[in-house]
Structures are given as C-alpha cells and as structure tokens.
A = this chain, B = another copy of it.
Amino acid sequence: MNIITISREFGSGGRELGKRLADLLGYDYYDREIITTIAAQKGLDEGYVEKALENHAWQTIPLTFRHSFASANMMQQAQTDLLVAQKRVVEGIAKAGRSSVIVGRNADVLLADKKPFSIFVCAEMDAKIRRCMERAEKGENLSRREIENNIRRIDRSRAKNREMIANGKWRDCGTYHLTINTTDWSIKELAPAVAEFASRWFRR
C-alpha cells in the first residue's frame, strides 16, 4: 500500500495534481470525502465541519460570545472532537489498505507511521490569483485584491492547523519529501512527472 499526501497553498493546483496523480497511478483519491464522512458521522452540516476544521471554530463565533468562558470552552471542545474525528477518518483510509492520494488534513503527519510520500505544492501569488479567477463560479465577482486576501487568510489557517499537530512548519521544505512550484507548469504536464517520481520513491 502506497500513500501520497498533498499539502498545498490555496490556488496552487494541489487538488488537481492530487486527482491526476490518483488517476495516473490507479490510486484511490481522498479530499472532500473526508469532510463528508465526518459530517455524516457527527450529524453535522458539511459546510460547518469544513469551516470549523479550516478556520478554528472559536475564531468564527462573534467576539461577544468568545468573552463568555463557557461558550469559548464549548467551541474548543467541539473543535477538538472534530480533529479527533478527522484523525480517525484519515487513519481509516490507511487501514483499508489501498494505495491512496490524500489531499489536505495534514495526512502526512496523521499517517507518519505509514511512511507516506509527502508533497507540498506552492505557486507564485499571481499564478494563484489567476487560477482562482479561472475557477470562480458564475456570479462570483471578487476583485484581485479580494482573491489575494482570501488566499492569504486560508493559508494562514492552514499554517496554524499544521502547527497544532506537527513539529515542522507548514510550507517549510524540510517538512515534506518533495515541494513543487506549479507557477510555470500546467498541472496536466506536471502530473506524469510527479507520478514517475513518486513511483521511484516507493520502489527505492
């Protein structure tokens, strides 16, 4: 069983790379499925679970509530429950014993004992903004500045989430086996190169 994990900057194309890698290698692919499973298990709304895990639940409640110690405490408890549920779902993927690509969720840390091949995907800000604009849904008319702010906000959350559970810092090249800058590639051309590289890693 081979596991490839992908951490990524928002807008860098990490998710598309993961999907293509799974297709090329014939691996299972996990991304949103993890959120869906947690939401189903907990009987919670998928959007809430996603937001709570990405942004730290306690940051999303109004400041006035945070001043109430009991509420803050409850939110932290809910957050911890979700993190435990997430850990179990990711471990469950590995237990199934099938080769997989897992995008996000710090799966490389959660599955460290399974020796996954861990990839980090980054790109220059302009390239990330362009990608977000191309993928924007109809009617979504964010300015470049708004998109850039979103990217920075989401990446700050990802960095914090990683800090909570890992020793190495998010985005630090020493933390992953391979770090890929997608700025000058199309993901379609890049994916077979990464698939070959990862195959050699597992054969070594």
Chain A residues packing against B (C-beta within 8 Å): 120, 122-124, 171, 173-174, 176-181, 184-186, 189, 192-194, 196-197, 200-201, 204
Say how many copies of this protein the assembly contains: 2
Instruction: Give complex CA distance A193, B195 in Å.
Output: 10
Among residues of B, the one whose C-beta sits closest to the C-beta of A189 is: B204
Which B residues are in CB contact (< 8 Å) with A181?
173-174, 176-179
Instruction: Give complex CA distance A177, B192 in Å.
Output: 16
Distance in Å from the Cβ of A149 to the closest Cβ of chain B? 18
Known A122-B174, A124-B174; further 17 A-B contacts with Cβ < 8 A: A120-B173, A123-B174, A171-B173, A173-B179, A173-B181, A174-B181, A176-B181, A177-B180, A177-B184, A179-B179, A185-B201, A185-B204, A186-B204, A189-B200, A193-B196, A196-B197, A197-B197
Instruction: Give complex CA distance A151, B86 in Å.
Output: 39
Question: What would 22 A/B residue contacts be, using CB atoms closer than 8 Å?
Answer: A120-B173, A122-B173, A171-B173, A173-B173, A173-B179, A173-B181, A174-B181, A176-B181, A177-B181, A178-B178, A178-B179, A179-B179, A179-B180, A185-B204, A186-B204, A192-B200, A193-B197, A193-B200, A193-B201, A196-B197, A196-B200, A197-B197
Q: Which of A181, A184, A189 has the most CB of B within 10 A?
A: A181
